[in-house]
Amino acid sequence: MSSPQDQEVSELSVPAPWGEIKGKIWGPDDGYPVLCLHGWADNCASFDCLVPLLPKECRYVATDLVGHGLSSHRAPGVSYLLSDYVADVCRVVEDLQWTKFSIIGHSMGGFIAGMFGALYPEMVDVLVLLDSYGFVITRPDDLSKLMRQGIDEMMKFNTFNSRVYTFETAQERLLAANPTLSERSVHTLLKRGLTQVEGGFVFSRDLRVNFKHIHRFSLEVCLELQSKIQASTLIILADNGFGMPSKQQEASELLQAFKDRNHAVVSVPGDHHVHLNDPEVVAPLVTDFLRSKVISQQLPA
C-alpha cells in the first residue's frame, strides 16, 4: 500500500505581477474544487498527509502562500498583509476558473479563509478551519503597539540574505521553532521549505513573513465580518493547539458566535500541526463534513 506522500500530484503555477504562485494539485480534473491554505511559515506540503485521506471525488489545490515554499516573494519594500493574501486567493481561483469551492485553512491559512469567506461569501460552500478560528483578533489597547512594531520591522529590514544551513541543521532549526512537529512532518515541510545554494541550503520563505501583521481587527470587527460568512463552517481545534478558547476570552466569544449560527466547533487530541502529524485524527471529520455539505449535493439524482 502506498503512503500518502507517494500519491500522484501535479504542480500548480499561477502568474502574478511579481512572479508566480506555486502549489500542488490532487484529484480528478472534474472533481469538486477544494482550496487548501497552509499556516504561517509552512508551505503547501502541510497537506501532503491529509489530502490523500480525504474524499477522492474532490480536486484539491494547495498553494504555497506568497513568500512561502516555492512561490515568489513580494517586491522589495512591500509588507505581507492579510488583505493581499486574500487577493492572492482571488488570483488563484480566477486562474483555475473556479466560481464555487470549499476552503481548508490551517492556522494563518484559516485566517485567510475566514476573511475570503466574509468578503466573497457567494463563492464559498464550506470552510474547514484547522486550529484556527477564522480571524485575527487584537485587543484595542494593543492595536497601536503591534501596528507600529510591524512598520518599524519593515523599515529596518534592508537585506534579503539568508543564513546557509546543512540539511541537518535546517531540520534542527525548524524543529526548534516548531517543537511539536514530528520527524516525518519536518521532512515533509522541508521538501518545499528549503532552496539549495552554494554551500548548503537556505529556507525558501521570505524573512519578511516574520514581521508583525500591520492590519489588525478588534473583536467587534471580527464578529461583523464573521456574520457575512454564508459557508457551512467546521472548526477543528487541537486540545494542545494555540487556538484553544481558554487562552483568550475574545476567541471564546468568536467561537460562540460560530456556534450560534449553527456552525460546528469540535476539539481533537493533538497539537497545532495535528493535521500533519496525525492526519488520521482529522481526516474523518473533514471527510464527513465535505460529504454531507457539498459532495452529496453534487451527485446526480
- Give catalytic residue positions: 107
* E-state strands within 131-279: 194-197, 200-203, 232-240, 264-271
Pick from 96, 72, 86, 126: nearest CA to 10: 96
State the sign of the Cα–Cα–Cα–Cα dihedral 282, 284, 288, 294.
Answer: positive
Coil, helix or strand for 109?
Answer: helix
- Grid coordinates standing for 218? 478588534
* E-state strands within 167-225: 194-197, 200-203
Q: DSSP characters for 182-198?
A: -HHHHHHHHHHHEEEET
Judge residue 269's burial from the number of C-beta atoms within 10 Å of its C-beta, 0-12 exposed, 13-18 middle, 19 or more buried: exposed
CA distance 36 to 30: 17
- In this structure, are residues 24 and 188 in contact, taking their beta carbons and an 8 Å threshold? no
Calculate ∠ Cα 284-174-205, nearest 5°: 90
CA distance 114 to 111: 5
Q: Which H helix or E strand runs over 106? A: strand 101-106
- Residue in this structure with the C-alpha cell 492595536, named with its chain if needed: 143
